[in-house]
């Protein structure tokens, strides 16, 4: 694997840290800015909104630029957003800075995934994407806990300054390690990128992402009350248990990348089925401490096995112009975050019990399986459909063109 993937992983580590650290800093931020915890929670929503808007928007407006330059520019915007967060004089400014910090998130992962696959042979594409995502999962194990401790002892502003330093390191790594030649922009530019989004298979792949990762967030958003209210853990133990989720996610991400290079569709189906089974077992596993801890790790593993296959599937469906579709998939991940949390909350509010969000999540995983099966059926139908006259003429010249290229 090329060393350049390390540069993408460093950027992903910084992005993952700033995305999730706000949850642990909410009390400190609320205290310092004299606002309520629910009001401080809007800072999480502002970041997510920035991701959803920025992912397709920035991928579209940079479609004619070299991808290497795009990645460096996105990371510079990330540094600016976090530096402004650290210097924000009040709540309104911090809200705007968090929105700005979220804008480059989706486009960085989307364009980065395209760049990662251009630097490896076809049989290693999924593995290259999983190595980039490794920075995101490791952020949940190391970056977020360390950044949270820094914020608690040195002030929350120090945390965002620290994240800015990570961003600067990522810029240096991108400039040094990402090669120039394989990362040029597609010839079609914005028009070609937008044309890719008119494809039904692309939208089915995006819908699979929303349903599949919505299943994860339906349960994970409420895992703390499950651990304390059902399994019987003390609140002080939750941080360590959530680190287990990060360990499981890291293992699942690496496993998914390796398996998807052998069978993309098979890995996706197996991952979604495993996620449904793990979530269905949560009401039983959350009854005791000894079974709840491995359940959290299994949840991370089952969910992130599907991460690389989903990203690669979207890119393959939009192979002529993958950057915008790949970035849109990151927006789909964040829609899954919001939608899954909402559906899990409905189950909880209906009085079905503290573990009911996991069961609701299992339903979403099954829905993801159904959408993936429909996408597979559409692919098979299109592959077997009779060609038009023009397509037959083009196909008849393919052997001649291949012979000419060999000559």
Give per-residue pLDDT as tens, 110-123.
888 888 888 888 88
* Tokens 């002529």 belong to residue: 320
241/100 same-domain check: no
124/21 same-domain check: yes
173/246 same-domain check: no
Does residue 390 lie in a domain region? no
Nearest to 48 by CA among 4, 24, 18: 18
Q: What is the pLDDT of residue 236?
A: 74
What one-character-per-residue DSSP string does 180-243 give? SGGGPPPTTHHHHHHHHTT-HHHHHHHHHHHHHHHHHHHHHTTHHHHHHHTS---GGGHHHHHH
What separation in angstroms does the CA of 129 have from each of 101, 257, 293, 332?
Answer: 23, 7, 28, 17
Give per-residue pLDDT as tens, 368-394.
999 999 988 888 877 765 544 434 433
Q: CA torsion angle for 22, 281, 312, 200 (degrees, to 10)?
A: -100
Contacts of 336 (CB under 8 A, 6+ apart): 209, 210, 211, 212, 213, 214, 216, 217
Q: What is the pLDDT of residue 1?
A: 64
Average pLDDT value for the chain: 84
Contacts of 168 (CB under 8 A, 6+ apart): 79
140/10 same-domain check: yes
Does residue 397 lie in a domain region? no
- CA dist 233 and 125 (Å) reads 41
43/173 same-domain check: yes
6/55 same-domain check: yes
198/175 same-domain check: no
163/270 same-domain check: no
- The pair of structure tokens assigned to 360 is 């609701």
Give per-residue pLDDT as tens, 166-207.
999 999 999 998 887 544 455 555 666 676 677 788 889 899
Alpha helices in 155-199 (DSSP H): 156-177, 189-196
Is the pLDDT score of 271 beyond 70?
yes
196/131 same-domain check: no
Is the pLDDT score of 228 beyond 50?
yes
176/220 same-domain check: no
Give per-residue pLDDT as tens, 3-34.
888 999 999 999 989 887 887 787 788 888 88
Residue 208 pLDDT class (50, 70, 90 cuts): very high
126/79 same-domain check: yes
235/320 same-domain check: yes
Our count of domains for the chain comes to 2
Does residue 273 lie in a domain region? yes
Q: Domain of 220?
A: 191-383
Does residue 115 lie in a domain region? yes
**For the chain, how far is it from start to end, CA to CA, in angstroms?**
31
Does residue 74 lie in a domain region? yes
Does residue 290 lie in a domain region? yes
- Lowest-pLDDT choice from 23-27, 160-164, 335-339: 23-27
Which CATH number is 125's domain given? 1.20.1250.20
């Amino acid at each position: 694997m090329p060393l350049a993937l390390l540069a993408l992983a460093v950027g992903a580590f910084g992005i993952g840290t700033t995305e999730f650290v706000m949850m642990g800093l909410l009390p400190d931020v609320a205290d310092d800015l004299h606002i309520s915890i629910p009001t401080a929670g809007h800072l999480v929503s502002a970041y997510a909104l920035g991701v959803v808007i920025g992912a397709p928007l920035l991928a579209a407006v940079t479609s004619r630029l070299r991808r290497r330059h795009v990645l460096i520019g996105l990371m510079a915007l990330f540094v600016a957003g976090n530096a402004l967060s650290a210097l924000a004089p009040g709540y309104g400014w911090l809200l705007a800075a968090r929105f700005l910090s979220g804008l480059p998130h989706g486009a960085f992962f989307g364009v980065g995934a395209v760049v990662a696959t251009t630097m490896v042979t076809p049989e290693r594409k999924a593995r290259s994407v999983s190595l980039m995502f490794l920075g995101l999962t490791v952020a949940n194990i190391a970056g977020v806990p360390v950044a949270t401790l820094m914020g608690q002892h040195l002030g929350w502003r120090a945390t965002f300054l620290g994240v800015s330093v990570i961003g600067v390191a990522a810029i240096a790594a991108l400039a040094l390690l990402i090669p120039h030649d394989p990362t040029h922009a597609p010839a079609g530019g914005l028009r070609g990128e937008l044309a890719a989004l008119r494809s039904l298979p692309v939208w089915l792949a995006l819908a699979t992402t929303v349903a599949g990762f919505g299943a994860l967030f339906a349960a994970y958003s409420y895992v703390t009350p499950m651990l304390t209210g059902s399994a019987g853990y003390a609140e002080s133990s939750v941080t360590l248990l959530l680190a287990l989720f990060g360990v499981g996610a890291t293992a699942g991400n690496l496993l998914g990348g390796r398996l998807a290079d052998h069978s993309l569709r098979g890995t996706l189906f197996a991952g979604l089925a495993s996620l449904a089974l793990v979530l269905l077992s949560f009401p039983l596993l959350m009854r005791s401490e000894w079974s709840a801890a491995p359940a959290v790790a299994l949840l991370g593993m089952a969910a992130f096995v599907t991460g690389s296959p989903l990203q690669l599937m979207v890119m393959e469906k939009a192979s002529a112009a993958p950057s915008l579709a790949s970035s849109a998939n990151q927006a789909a991940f964040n829609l899954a975050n919001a939608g899954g949390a909402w559906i899990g909350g409905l189950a909880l509010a209906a009085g079905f019990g503290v573990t009911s969000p996991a069961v609701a999540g299992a339903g979403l995983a099954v829905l993801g399986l159904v959408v993936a099966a429909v996408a597979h059926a559409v692919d098979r139908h299109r592959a077997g459909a009779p060609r038009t006259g023009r397509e037959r003429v083009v196909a008849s010249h393919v052997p001649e063109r291949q012979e000419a290229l060999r000559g």
